[in-house]
Amino acid sequence: MSVAEENESVRTPVPLLTPRDGVPDVITTAGGVDAAAAALSSGTGPLAVDAERASGYRYSSRAYLIQLRRPGSGTVLIDPIPTAGALAPLAEAINGLEWVLHSADQDLPCLAELGLQPDAVYDTELAGRLAGFERVGLAAIVERMLGFELRKGHGAADWSTRPLPDSWLNYAALDVEILVDLREAMAAELERQGKSQWAAEEFEHVRSAGPPAPKPDRWRRTSKIHTLKDPRRLAIVRELWTTRDEIAARRDVAPGRVLPDSAIIAAAEAIPRGPEELRALPVFGGPRQRRQSRVWLSAIERARALPTSELPPLTQPFTGPPPANRWSRHHPEAAARLTAARTEMTALSEVVQVPVENLVSPELVRRLCWDWAPVSGVDVTDYIAMRFADGGARPWQRELVAPRLAKVLGA
């Protein structure tokens, strides 16, 4: 029986309601940062790290609270807004440590903006995926591995609020309270499963990946845009979306709080030609939007004035293979390869107890099947491994997946 199974069978979860040392005061001064850096330097072992943003409220992804805890040092809460220019001592104290985070890719970019970048990472959420856990949220893994009930409730709050409520700070401190303990439990579980090296490669990939590249044509992600079948209306969506994005960035407000997607779609459907027609639409008749009527109408007019040659296509141009559901009609060989590959990947996932998407990027598999062109004289397994390496797959993924796919694709 595994550690996780033993924990589930014998433990009744114990509510974890307050940090063992209490909730520390939030550091808001350069002197406070200096003292925190000294305290953390005197600790031992890995550093538990978390950051709170204001997603859904602010345009930026900046951190509005940083939580740190290290054995022998206690917990530190830092407000990075007033201290952003004074974090060099903190960076010197912690950047050379291993950081323990849950969903590291969510927090590392906003911390890097502040000059905080670890030499090594341990991601407990990713560890849970590699261990085959069905539920990998922090509360679920803490309960499974450590037997504590970690109650959530403020993760989606507006962390740009000042002052931060005491209940929020208690929640924030608990997020790093037992992360180091969880790291040790997960490391033991992955070692038992023979997946420690897999985890090490995945963690380094997350640490060195950097922020994701902006996606092209982000305006096409407007909710319900699929209901519009006319290029002119799509142009209106694009202009309204771009105008909204510029306003949101300038004000540092989430775009949906400037103008909801539903209003953009409604305007594109109606194509209003004046203030009264615009204000008759949902949302645009409200007091705040009435003051912005000229801004939105100008965006609509720009779209209406575009020549046909400058209108956006109804569908986003492909930068790679077309959607897989279109393959069977015009490219049946590629479709057959993809079906065989997906079947084999599902079987492998069940054997090693790792989600398919973590075995190797599904996009790499899709491109492999579409562009299948083995090189004469090159072993099929080596060809697949080479293609995956070019796409950023880690060594453990290539060693595990390439032989299995070669078996079905090389036939």
CA gyration radius for the chain?
25
What's the pLDDT score for residue 288? 87
Residue 28 binned pLDDT confidence (cut-offs 50, 70, 90): very high
**Residue for token digits 């220019």?**
85
163 upstream amide cis, omega within 30 of 0: yes
Q: Does the structure show a pLDDT above 60 at 314?
A: yes
For 250-306, the pLDDT digits (tens) are 999 999 999 999 999 999 999 999 999 999 999 999 988 999 999 999 999 999 999
* Phi, psi angle pair for 58, to nearest 5°: -120, 155
Structure tokens at 207: 């640490």
What's residue 320's pLDDT?
A: 79
Q: Please tell me the predicted confidence (pLDDT) of residue 221.
A: 95
* 31-40, 60-69, 290-299, 308-317: least confident range: 308-317
Confidence band of 11 (pLDDT split at 50, 70, 90): low
Distance CA 199, CA 396 (A): 9
**Share above pLDDT 70 across residues of the chain, in percent, rounded to a whole number:** 97
CA separation for the pair 345, 355 (Å, rounded): 9
Q: Is the pLDDT of residue 44 over 60?
A: yes
The neighbour count for residue 92, using CB atoms within 10 Å, is: 12
Average pLDDT for residues 6-13, to the nearest whole number? 62
Q: Do 81 and 161 meet the contact criterion of CB atoms below 8 Å apart?
A: no
Q: pLDDT grade, residue 231 (50/70/90)? A: very high
Domains identified in the chain and CATH numbers: 3-209 (3.30.420.10), 218-310 (1.10.150.80), 324-409 (1.10.150.80)
Contact 287, 92 (CB under 8 A): no
In percent, how much of the chain has pLDDT > 90? 88
Instruction: Tally helices (H) and strands (E) across the chain.
Output: 22, 8
What is the average per-residue pLDDT within 28-49?
Answer: 98
* CA-based nearest residue to 151, from 182, 172, 124: 172
Mean pLDDT in residue range 121-132: 98
| Average pLDDT estimate for 92-98 | 98
pLDDT averaged over the chain?
A: 94
Residue 222: band (very low, low, confident or very high) from pLDDT cuts 50, 70, 90? very high
pLDDT recorded at residue 10: 52
Supply 137's token pair: 């949220």
The yes-or-no verdict on residue 63 having pLDDT over 60 is yes
State pLDDT tens for residues 355-398: 999 999 999 999 999 999 988 888 999 999 999 999 999 999 99
Q: For residue 214, name the pLDDT band (cuts at 50, 70, 90).
A: confident
- Beta-bridge partners for 36: none
Pairwise CA distance, residues 77 & 173, whole Å: 7
Q: Give the pLDDT band of residue 215 (cuts 50, 70, 90).
A: confident
Rounded distance, CA 391 to CA 368, Å? 10
> Could you tell me where the beta strands, DSSP code E, fall in 4-84?
14-16, 26-27, 47-52, 65-70, 74-78
Query: What angle do helix axes 179-192 and 3-10 make, rounded to 10 degrees?
Result: 120
Where is pLDDT greater, at 189 or 6? Answer: 189
Among the residue ranges 117-126, 219-228, 314-323, the one predicted with the least confidence is 314-323
Q: What's the average model confidence in pLDDT over 41-63?
A: 97
Integer Cα distance of 382 and 376 in angstroms:
12
pLDDT at 2: 53
Is it the case that residue 5 has pLDDT exceeding 80?
no
Nearest Cα to Cα of residue 100 among 47, 59, 62: 47
